[in-house]
């Protein structure tokens, strides 16, 4: 149980990489897309609008490497590949969902703040 004392406030702490990963443009959305169960590549692609094949592949590979997602390829024609959250991946759902909720709940306020701020600058 004894874990090293990870501290993202320290320079080269690996947790920073982890925060970075979580924070990239697509990770949050992809994990959200897998939240309700396994999904195929094309399904995720449709769900996360605007993601390119390249970035989706890359994101999934990283998630796989980090043990958050499993990849299962079925030997069929045409190919079918399913991605699924691991237990670890599922444990990330809740904090990420909270973030998504916060973004939704406060988007209007933030937008308003930006407008005011920009007007004050111009004036």
Sequence-distant (6+) residues with CB within 8 A of 86 are 67, 68, 69, 70
Alpha helices in 1-123 (DSSP H): 14-23, 27-33, 41-47, 53-65, 87-122
The CB-of-65 to its own copies minimum distance in angstroms stands at: 5
- For residue 25, what are its two tokens? 């443009």
- Using the contact rule CB under 7 A, the part of the chain among 28-36, 48-56, 97-105, 109-117 near DNA is 48-56
Interface mask (CB under 8 A) for its own copies, residues 91-120, using x and -? xx-xxx-xxxxxxxxxxxxxxxxx--xx--
48 forms part of the interface with its own copies (CB under 8 A): yes
Q: Which is nearer to its own copies, 76 or 106 (CB)?
A: 106
Which one, 22 or 81, has the nearer CB to its own copies? 22
- What residues are paired with 56 via a beta bridge? none
């Amino acid at each position: 149980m004894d874990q090293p004392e990870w501290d993202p406030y320290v320079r080269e702490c690996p947790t920073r990489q982890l925060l970075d990963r979580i924070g990239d443009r697509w990770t949050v959305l992809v994990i959200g897309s897998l939240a309700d169960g396994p999904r195929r590549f094309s399904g995720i692609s449709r769900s996360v609008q605007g993601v390119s094949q390249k970035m989706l592949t890359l994101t999934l590979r990283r998630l796989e490497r980090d043990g958050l997602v499993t990849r299962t390829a079925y030997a069929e024609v045409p190919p079918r590949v399913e991605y699924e959250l691991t237990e670890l991946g599922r444990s990330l759902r809740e904090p990420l969902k909270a973030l998504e909720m916060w973004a939704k709940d406060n988007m209007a306020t933030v937008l308003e703040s930006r407008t005011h701020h920009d007007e004050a600058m111009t004036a």
